[in-house]
Amino acid sequence: MINKHDFLFLLHNLDKEAGYDDYYSYYGGSDNEYEDEKLTPNEDWSILNCAKRQRVHQVASIIELIRSNQAYNVNCNAEFKQSFEEANRLCEYVKMMKFMEESWQKKMNTLQSSMSITKRRLKAEDSDRNLDASEKASDVH
C-alpha cells in the first residue's frame, strides 16, 4: 500500500522528470518564447490543472502497477511457502520411511537369526532322537 508521503514524493519526481520544478519556470518568466502572449489567470490554471491531471494519472498508473506487483509478490510468496511446506512434509515422510525400513531390517535380521538358531536346535534334537532311537533299536536286538 502506498502512503501519502510516497504519493507526494512520486508526484515531485514526475515534476522533475518533466523538466519543471515549479509552475512559473515552466509557464512564465523571461525565457518564455511567447512573451507577447501572456496567459490569463484562467488559462494559466487550466494548463496547470491539465498538467497536474496528467501527473496524477501517471502517479495513479504507477500506484496501480505497484499494487499489482505487490499482489503478485504476495501470490508468489504464498506459492513458495506452500511448496516449501510440501517439500518439508515430503522430507519428513522420506525420513519416516527410512526409519521404518531400518527397523524392519533389524526385525527381519533378528527373526532370521532366531530361525537359524531354532533350526539348529531342531536338527540337534532330531539327531539326538535318531541316536536314541538307534540305541534303543540296537539294545533290543
68-101 pLDDT tens trace: 999 999 999 999 999 999 999 999 999 999 999 9
Residue corresponding to grid cell 500506484: 63
- The count of domains in the chain is 1
Range of the domain at 17: 4-140
Q: How far apart are CA 85 and CA 120, in angstroms?
A: 52
For residue 64, pLDDT over 80 is answered with: yes
Whether the Cβ atoms of residue 85 and residue 65 lie closer than 8 Å to each other: no
Output the pTM of the full model: 0.43
Better-scored residue on pLDDT, 84 or 131: 84
What is the structure's pLDDT at 128? 80
DSSP state of 33: S
DSSP state of 19: T
The pLDDT-based confidence of 63 (bands split at 50, 70, 90) is confident
